[in-house]
Structure 1
Amino acid sequence: MTAAVGAAGGGGGGMPVGAVAAGSSQAAGAGEAAGRVSNVQRIQQKKAQVRAWPRDKKLEKLAIYSSCWADEKCKCNGWKNPSPPAHPARPDTPQPAAPPSQPCRSCTHTLGDHVSHLESAGDDDLDRLLSIVVDVENLFICVHREEDPDTKQVYSYLFRRLRKCILQVSPPTVEGPLGTPPFERPSIFKGVTNFVLHKFNHLQQKDFQMMSDLAKMFLHCLNHWRLETPSARRAHTTPEESSAYKVNYTRWLCFSYVPQLCDSLPHHETTAIFGRTFLRAVFHTLRKQLLDKFRAEKDKMPAEKKLLLLNHFPRFLSMLEEEVYSNTSPIWDADYRPQLPPHLHNQAAERGNTAARGEFERLSVQPGDGHYTTVSLSSATTRRQRIDDRGEKREGDDLSDSICGKRIKIETEDLGEETVAEVVATITDPRKMIGPEVLFSENAARDEAAKLEERKGNIEFHVIGNSLTQKVSKQTMLWLIGLQNVFSHQLPRMPKDYITRLVFDPKHCTLALIKENRPIGGICFRMFAAQGFTEIVFCAVTSNEQVKGYGTHMMNHLKDYHVKNNVLHFLTFADEFAIGYFKKQGFSKDIQLSRAVYQGYIKDYEGATLMGCELNPNIVYTEFTAVIRRQKEIIKKLIERRQSEIRKVHPGLTCFRDGVREIPIESIPGIREAGWKDPGTPSRASRSPSHEQQDPEYLHSMLKTLLCNVKSHAAAWPFQVPVDPNEVPDYY
């Protein structure tokens, strides 16, 4: 490893200038903030210098971090200069590039063999990789200079992760048991926003604006505040609190703090990905440090600012503290709808009337007295577009696509827009689509009849639940009582008082299927938003309403509801009679979530099977079957069009009469004209083996994971230990 790029001297707390430094939370003053800005500027300056290098110098730098491609047996994972200078020059001093023929000190293969996969890469791709290199070398310095063991471990993990991203030519991501942001819902940002609207919506515009500014300042301070290390907090917290804090501290380092300096990593604001649990853990320390800092600098403040920070801000923090630690505060309720102050009503109305083009809202608040405990669901009819906050695709998503075919693409034949338009017009024209399968399809989707009834208004779907903090409407209570009766009749093995307790538990919600204003089915569930999954507790439809597709359509509504709330995993314990139903709904015994994520959260049932389902955020599940059917019809019509274009009829094969046992497929007359392609011929996507397929580290990691999964499988116990010949003499 070479010297760290951008590390040109010592910074505050013993950390190098230009390297990441996460130390004690006591350093929260202006000097530290200025130091962090200075570090960021130095790193960006170094990256600008690297981007200005000539191409051969860039390739030499990347060769240090690239595996050897000379042959498959070579295990070298980085080119090493055979004759390094005795006195290395300063990082910003230009040095001549080594020639591509220069051999590696480790494997003796040339520098060019280590970067042969980058020959066709553009300058933008090389610059992205070099940006990761700068971050890797800064993290290398941090690993060796950091004294706190918890922080050092995180730096080491991020260093290895970025190092592997360079080897595999892939965009940097943080993976593993930490999960993916956001980790709690509602977020701190949402909670503080609700707090301002909840407590100050009665104020005049000027006073309300002042409180809004204080809230923005608090959120800004939290986004730029450095947490205490877990070891520093361990002395004055319980073991359980210390363990939970260490997880959040690690998440904060990986997703919020380090990415501010190492911009190769995706960055998330602290207030956007953490919620109430995180804020409770840090609030007292943050409040004390902020107020101490303001009091220490009061002599330098103008009078207006002093009044704001020393009089109004402490009162603001005291009121916020009450809501943070209160178990009954409504601002942390995911369904909380605060009342806007009068001067914001007009602005909200204008925004509501000018929704973004292409936007489709599938969740709407049910009007009435009990609107806060009832949410109506409607089927979606438009595709969701996945774009980032800027409305455009994020830079770096296709980094590996343009280098050495990292991701294998399927070679497809483009169809003209006119051709597709004609086919779509044909399959949607009832005069051209004739035959019994149009009206009486044998392969009609299970939920087709239910969807038709919903369109006619015969059935409705509502997400309802009890509440201890809000008034619950009489209609909602009647529906909950009806659902309790449905579950009790359809699930006779479950104790009635147990069903009642969960249905009316404020932490549980129920998707109710309503027909003629009474519930005929439902799914009772509990959402663990911070863990990223939902537990399905009860699922039932009245016996005389079964085999109508209601169960499938109800589950699809539940999936769409969870996609909207960004909770993409279902877990449930299914008895022997329910396993078949859940399999049809996409559930599997192969759980995609780590056991540590859900253990201790869900209810365990004796004799039941744990099943899981992972949701795809790009799918509208209530329209899924219709989309698939339409796609099949389009493909069928395209095949028919292609067949009609092939007018030549070839005679049958006669070679088999002469005793020939087999012939090559390509020798069949007309086979190539019909569109057949030799599967053995490498396509554009497969001519260059992907880097992942050739990387020994990747293969070792993948096979090791597979082996661990096989060993831990419930059915693997007979194969864990060889058969004892003393017990079974004739086995061998």
Structure 2
Amino acid sequence: MAESGAVAQGSPAVGAAGSAPAAPGVAGAEGSGAAVGSARIALKKAQLRSSPRAKKLEKLAVYSSCKVRTGSSSASGALVIFVVHSLLLLACTLPDIYCECSQLLRKCILQMGRPAVEALESPPFEKPSIEQGVNNFVQYKFSHLPSKERQTIVELAKMFLNQINYWQLETPSQRRQRVPTDDVAGYKINYTRWLCYCNVPQFCDSLPRYEATQIFGRTLLRSVFTVMRKQLLEQKRKSSEPSSHEDTKKARVIGDIPMELINEVMSTITDPTAMLGPETSLLSAHSARDEAARIEERRGVIEFHVIGNSLNQKPNKKILMWLVGLQNVFSHQLPRMPKEYITRLVFDPKHKTLSLIKDGRVIGGICFRMFPSQGFTEIVFCAVTSNEQVKGYGTHLMNHLKEYHIKHEILNFLTYADEYAIGYFKKQGFSKDIKVPKAKYVGYIKDYEGATLMGCELNPSIPYTEFSVIIKKQKEIIKKLIERKQAQIRKVYPGLSCFKEGVRQIPIESIPGIRETGWKPSHQNAWPFMEPVKKNEAPGYYQVIRFPMDLKTMSERLKSRYYTTRKLFMADMQRIFTNCREYNPPESEYYKCANLLEKFFYTKIKEAGLIDK
């Protein structure tokens, strides 16, 4: 292929009109345009095929006379050789490919035959094929594995074959530059065969199309495997890399504390020499509920294991002992539940249990059943043995269960809680507000008389087992920031004496020193309107909004005594809400903030008696 028409080597081919595909996983502008072009061609063909016979003959009549200026009976053979010769010379930019296909199809119309590219032999070109070789390899190496693991290997093999079938081969000229010592002549023949039988038929469906893995064998696999493996691993590495800090952090809010100060405080609270104090092995009164359990897990005192019974594998003695221990814990802690019922569910292969192990014995667990197709998990039993309660084990158990489900991409819990368990589940984030649609769980979960259905929606961004540690660190940061701010305030103000004179209340901002501390009142929905809209954050905003307004501009106008009448002030405030609703869609957060702040504004205006109620 000529360099002008070459695509990036090793990128998956797109079933479009031969255009350079976008990078794997990215719908590039070129790739999307090619897809549109391919769809347009397919639509045109479908319309022509559905036309009456007379219309079809009228279309074909344009090409029915021989356009090859030769009296030789070998004209058709020369044409085929010309097509193959052109491809072998790699004079196949997109227009060239279209031209050769057009001539080949014209010849087929003249001869009333099916299109076929000759002089390249007929597929398959090698035996065994790539597909057969991979299947033989899987059967030979992995046939001894259990059915579930073997099926995973089979799926991986299918993915590998699919990658080869849709892989865009590098041109011989690109290969010559990459591997100068390689046998380019052999690769050129295979490349031409791939072009004629696999690539071009993707967008020219009049030509017979074959899967590359079914017509090629070891030779092509060896020539493409190295570069394909390298680029797939590179693609996987890039996709697995976490986003940069700049990409993942939230947008800074106006009035945020400088990052330099945050970093300085962070270095202080994480430095043992800077946080001096009495050493103690006891937890503070303000420690999180799961702090003790987390420390014990870190020391290896307790362990967490997701276990379950299996009918496909030989039972593990330790697992069976743990299941019996769980059955005993649930039976003792849930006396109103029939023991036979507990045993049946604990040993049911469809149910799993997150078990809490201490000193080699079971002291608690959560029995659950996952419904991946419905998007939720039912929590059936949850208990910790009585002499190990009030140690944070229950909270830590639930946090481990949440992280387990986040890994398996199930983000909803449902459970029926009795009157004694409702308090526990509320502390773990459960509520009576069920997020799962009723049609998803009716008929799936077990209903219990006298119990309350509760649900919990998980946030995949939260590390639940470390959540309380993160909150604690945030509190320490805020505490240190407050201490630093207080240290900066040098002036001491006298106490308030107005209350001795009978005054019942005064505005907060009138307290001496309040404004100097940096205090400023702000409504929770006022954040989008604090400053003028930046052009780079809202493209085209100032083309849509002719008279922009914001709270900072209003504050400046207020200080400069611009508002000589009440109507001027209210007009500017109303303009903020109107502009927001005009530029943003109704479902946006900004639109909702405008509505809520407008309601609050007019409530305050009415309370002040500035407008009629």
| TM-score (ref. length: structure 1) | 0.43
How is 1:442-591 mapped onto 2 (pairs within 5 angstroms)?
Answer: 442-591=285-434
Q: Are residues 1:623 and 2:563 paired?
A: no
The answer to whether the 8 A contact 2:268-2:274 is kept is no
Change (3 A) 1:200 1:661: same
Larger RCO: 1 or 2 (CA < 8 Å, sep 6+)? 1
**Cα 1:446–1:211 shift into 2, 3 Å:** closer
Query: Does the 8 Å CA contact 2:354/2:401 hold for their aligned counterparts?
Result: yes
Determine helix, strand or coil for the equivalent of 1:461. strand
Paired letter, 1:550: Y
How far apart are 1:554 and its partner, in Å? 1.0
Q: Among residues 683, 688, 700, which one is paired with 2:530 in the alignment?
A: 683
Whole-angstrom CA distance in 2 between matches of 1:389 and 1:303: 30
User: Distance between the aligned counterparts of 2:407 and 2:360, measured in 1?
Assistant: 26
Query: Aligned-pair distance for 1:600?
Result: 2.1
The answer to whether the Cα contact below 8 Å between 2:326 and 2:362 also exists between their aligned partners in 1 is yes
SS at match of 1:521: strand
Q: 1:393 to 1:37 in 2, by over 3 A?
A: farther
Cα distance, 1:302–1:600 mapped onto 2, change above 3 Å: closer
Cα deviation for residue 575 of structure 1 reads: 0.8
Q: Kindly indicate whether residue 476 of structure 2 is the aligned counterpart of residue 610 of structure 1.
A: no
The answer (yes or no) to whether the contact 1:200–1:211 under 8 Å persists in 2 is: no
Q: Does the Cα contact within 8 Å between 2:21 and 2:31 map onto a contact in 1?
A: no
- Inter-CA distance 496–643: structure 2 relative to 1 (3 Å threshold): same
1:649 aligns with 2:492: yes
Where 1:201 maps in the other structure, the secondary structure is helix
1:423 touches 1:638 (CA, 8 Å); kept in 2? no
2:161, 2:213 within 8 Å by CA — same for their partners in 1? no
Determine if contact 1:459/1:516 at 8 Å carries over to the other structure: yes
Q: What amino acid is the match of 1:619?
A: I
Q: Alignment partner for residue 201 of structure 1, among 141, 147, 150?
A: 141
Structure 1 residue aligned with 2:510: 667
Contact 1:692 1:698 in 2 (8 A): no
Does structure 1 conserve the Cα–Cα contact (< 8 Å) formed by 2:307 and 2:354? yes
| Aligned 1:400-415 pairs, distance under 5 A | 410-415=253-258
Aligned residue pairs, count: 373
Structure 1 residue identity aligned to 2:401: L
Give the Cα–Cα distance (whole angstroms) in 2 for the partners of residues 303 and 448 of structure 1. 58
Cα distance in structure 2, aligned partners of 1:462 and 1:479: 10
- Equivalent in the alignment of 2:483: 640
Instruction: Please show how residues 360-399 of structure 1 align to structure 2 within 5 Å.
Output: 392=243
**How many angstroms does 1:417 deviate by?**
2.9
- The answer to whether the 8 A contact 2:399-2:464 is kept is yes
Match of 2:260 in 1: 417
CA distance in structure 2 between the partners assigned to 1:195 and 1:584 by the alignment: 53
Kept in 2: contact 1:423–1:637 (CA 8 A): no
Using the TM superposition, give the Cα deviation of residue 437 of structure 1 relative to its aligned residue in structure 2, in angstroms: 9.8
Q: Is the 8 A contact 1:298 1:306 kept in 2?
A: no
Cα distance, 1:661 vs. partner? 5.6
Residue 597 of structure 1 corresponds to 440
Taking a change above 3 Å as real, the CA distance of residues 305 and 583 of structure 1, as seen in their structure-2 partners, is: closer
Matched residues in 2 for 1:665 and 1:299: separation? 82
Distance (whole Å) between structure 2 residues aligned to residue 535 and residue 674 of structure 1? 51
The letter for the 2-side match of 1:576 is E
Backbone CA RMSD of aligned residues: 5.1
Distance 1:663-1:36 versus aligned 2 partners, 3 A rule: farther
Moved more, 614-623 or 681-690: 681-690
Query: In 1, distance between residues paired with 2:414 and 2:212?
Result: 55
CA drift of 1:420 comes to: 3.4
2: distance between equivalents of 1:603 and 1:640?
Answer: 53
The AA in structure 2 aligned to 1:536 is I
Q: 1:658 to 1:501 in 2, by over 3 A?
A: closer
Query: 2-side partners of 1:200 and 1:671: how far apart?
Result: 79
Q: TM-score, normalised by structure 2?
A: 0.50
Q: Which moved more, 1:214-223 or 1:482-491?
A: 214-223
1:427 and 1:433 in contact (8 A); partners too: no
Cα separation, 2, equivalents of 1:620 and 1:304: 45
Cα shift at 1:571: 0.8
Contact 2:165 2:212 in 1 (8 A): no
1:445/1:38 Cα in 2 relative to 1: closer, same or farther (>3 Å)? closer
The 1:202–1:631 alpha-carbon spacing in structure 2 relative to 1, beyond 3 Å, is closer
Residue in 1 that maps onto 2:83: none
- The amino acid that maps onto 1:599 is V
Residues in 2 aligned to 1:412 and 1:196: alpha-carbon distance in whole angstroms: 65
Measured after TM superposition, the shift of residue 471 of structure 1 is 2.9
> Following the alignment from structure 1 to structure 2, what is the Cα–Cα distance between the partners of residues 616 and 303?
43
Matches within 5 A, 1:264-343: none
2:466 aligned counterpart, secondary structure: helix
Give me the whole-angstrom Cα distance separating, in 2, the residues matched to 1:603 and 1:195.
44
Q: Is the 8 A contact 2:164 2:213 kept in 1?
A: no
Alpha carbons 2:306, 2:355 under 8 Å: kept:
yes
Structure 1 stretches (4+) deviating beyond 6 angstroms? 35-40, 45-48, 194-198, 209-213, 219-223, 301-305, 393-398, 435-438, 692-696
Alpha-carbon separation, structure 1, partners of 2:138 and 2:308:
22
CA distance in 1, matches of 2:28, 2:468: 51
CA distance, structure 1, for counterparts of residue 135 and residue 286 of structure 2: 52
Contact 1:487 1:539 in 2 (8 A): yes
**1:432-484 CA-partner distances (Å, limit 9, x unpaired):** 44369995522221222222222222211111111122233111111111111
Structure 1 gap segments, 5+ residues each: 1-31, 49-133, 146-193, 204-208, 224-292, 310-346, 357-386, 402-407, 704-732
Distance in structure 1 (CA, Å) of the matches to 2:160 and 2:32: 32
Report SS of the residue matched to 1:570: strand
Aligned AA for 1:537?
Answer: V
Deviation at 1:614, TM superposition (A): 1.2
CA distance in 2, matches of 1:394, 1:646: 34
Structure 2 CA distance, aligned partners of 1:520 and 1:631? 33
Residue identity in the other structure for 1:642 = K
Shift of 1:489: 1.6
